[in-house]
Amino acid sequence: MRYLGLYYRVSTDRQDLASQKRAMEIWLESLPVRPLSIVTYEDTGISGSKSQRPQFQQMLQDAFNKQLDTIAVYRLDRFSRDASTAIQLILQLDSCGVAFVSITQPALNLGHHVPFRKTMLAAFAEIAEIERDTLIARVKAGIHAARTRGVQFGAPLKCTEARQQEALILREKGNTIREIAAEMGLSTGSIWKLLQPPLLQPPTL
């Protein structure tokens, strides 16, 4: 752990970060070697269910740009209130060489020194796969129900988050553009548009 990013978040302006910061200081003091660099990121008055948090996005960008090798939070819900989103991000960070530490939840720590780190990552990956399969099943069921009601899919294309997510998931599974277009009932040109990086989301690795 050489380049550490500390992330703090509170949901309302009436809350403060003091307790999180004090706990983090105690944790830092317990480390055998202090990191060479420590960068602090703070979001105040923003729910953890939202990924479009300015400092959160900046931290992820720095991590993906190799400026951090570890991210530490007070609790997992400071990182994200949605467990599946948190797991996806942790897996992406790990593939980029960035460790994740929840200082008050040792069972969730994925520092590079953790003996069972690979086993935990494998479990997280399995959970993420189940979440993706569930999402795909729900999207397909929704599309089928809509078509049964006579809803026509196609132009004009509305680049909704649901459609974009479905296209990205199918792409991650190795489907070609033509296969995705056939699956979703759209043109290949529409699929290309949908596969553009989601707004304010961390890059897909």
Q: State the total domains in the chain.
A: 2
Q: What is the pTM of this model?
A: 0.56
Which residue, of 114, 139, 161, is where some domain finishes? 114
Domain at 62, CATH number = 3.40.50.1390
- The conformational region for residue 73 under phi > 0 = left, psi -120 to 50 = alpha, else beta, is beta
> What distance separates the 2 farthest-apart alpha carbons in the chain?
64
- Domain range for 165 is 126-194
Is 120 domain-assigned? no
Which residue, of 74, 93, 114, is where some domain finishes? 114
User: pLDDT, tens digit, for every residue of 176-190?
Assistant: 888 888 888 888 888
User: pLDDT, tens digit, for every residue of 129-177?
Assistant: 665 666 677 777 777 777 777 766 555 555 677 788 888 888 888 888 8
Q: Are residues 60 and 99 in the same domain?
A: yes
Phi, psi (deg, nearest 5) at residue 178: -65, -40
Is 180 domain-assigned? yes
